[in-house]
Every structure is written in structure tokens, then in C-alpha cells.
Structure 1
């Protein structure tokens, strides 16, 4: 999927702002899940959960970077409509990892 861009208008509406804010919310959600996974890993003595938390923090940093790039793309002279494919795949993978970490923390709490 190639990047699709259109000329920017004087008033692009709120959609570009909502898109940029969505990346920030995603980064915040990943960071919270990272903290919860790391806490559960430290409390339960599960180094795998701590590792999941560290990876989620890295994914959170990547989401912040992507959000910054998207904000700049959407505020430019040409609106770049499609985000990078790798960014979407990365967010999907991080979401799956966060879900797996949450499920694993539930099972780790039950064994202590």
C-alpha cells in the first residue's frame, strides 16, 4: 500500500487532530500495560512478564514517535492519508503482546 496524499485545505477539520491523538492514546495504553506487566512480573517472580513489560515500553516509545511523525504529516502542505504499513503492523503486534502479557499476569497472580 503506497502512501496516498491530497493537497491540504485551509480547514482540514478535526480528523487529522483525532488521528494524531489516537497514536498518543495508543502509546499511553501501551505504557500502562508495560507498567502492569512489569509489576506483576516482579511481584510473582516471573522474568518473562518483566521482559514483556520492557518490550511494551519500547513499543510505547515507537508509538510516540509514529504519532509525532503523523502529526507532522497531517499538518503539512499535503495531507498524507495512509500511515506506514510497518507502523500499523507494529501496533497490532504490540496490542497482541499487551493482551498476552495481561493474560499471563492473571495466571501468574493465581499461582502465588
Structure 2
């Protein structure tokens, strides 16, 4: 019977916490850029639904950046593999869907003017 040395059981996270935090920051920035575009178009075309979507996207961008900071601390503090939260993944998917729908609505509203 072979035994696994204790060093092999612990995980070396390397740069994973930093990469994870950067990925969440980039996601938050991308959502914020979409929020600016949707909010600008909503305000210039007097469309309250687009303006509301822009504000919601800003809030969700802040949530994405905050979640990235929390996730980095989780990865820094522990050595075992920590899977991402399914709730966070579902939230990101819903946010991307909202941004896509708001962007398409913005384009369609611009085209009808």
C-alpha cells in the first residue's frame, strides 16, 4: 500500500486568487460599460425602462466586483479547492442576459427614431 505524502494533499493556489479577482473585476467593468451605454440611451430617448435597466446594471456591476473581492479572500485563506457559488454563477448569467436585452432594446429604439 502506498501512502500519499501530506504535501501532495495540500493545494498550491499559485496565482489563482489574483486571477479570480481580476476576472470578477473585468466582468464588473464590462457590466458597468454596458450600464453607461444603456443609461445614456435611456435618458436621451426618454425611455424609463432603459434608464431603470442602466441603474440595475450599475448595481449588479458593483455586486460583481464585491463578490470578486470576497472570492479572492476565500481562496487566499483556504488551501482546499473551493467551487464557485451556484448562486453567483446564476446571478452573472442573469446579469449578462439583462445587459444583452437592454442593449438590443437600445439598438431597436435608436433604429425607430
TM-score range, shorter chain: 0.7 to 0.9
Rg larger for: 2
Where in structure 1 are there 5+ consecutive unaligned residues?
Answer: 1-5
TM-score under structure 2 normalisation? Answer: 0.84
Cα 1:39–1:79, aligned 2, differ >3 Å: closer, same or farther? farther
Aligned pairs for 1:1-112 within 5 A: 7-9=10-12, 12-112=13-113
Work out the CA distance in 1 between the residues paired with 2:22 and 2:72. 9
Where in structure 2 are there 5+ consecutive unaligned residues?
Answer: 1-8
Work out the CA distance in 1 between the residues paired with 2:73 and 2:80. 9
Offset, 1:108: 1.1
Larger RCO (alpha carbons 8 Å, 6+ apart)? 1
Task: Tell whether the 8 Å contact from 1:46 to 1:108 is kept in structure 2 after alignment.
Answer: no
Aligned pairs, number: 105
Work out the CA distance in 2 between the residues paired with 1:49 and 1:80. 40
Work out the CA distance in 2 between the residues paired with 1:32 and 1:79. 35
TM-score under structure 1 normalisation? Answer: 0.85
* Corresponding residue SS for 1:64: helix
Work out the CA distance in 2 between the residues paired with 1:56 and 1:30. 6
Root-mean-square deviation (CA, aligned residues, Å) is: 1.6
Work out the CA distance in 1 between the residues paired with 2:49 and 2:34. 14
- List, as ranges, runs of 4+ consecutive aligned residues in structure 1 with deviation greater than 4 Å: none
Offset, 1:80: 4.7
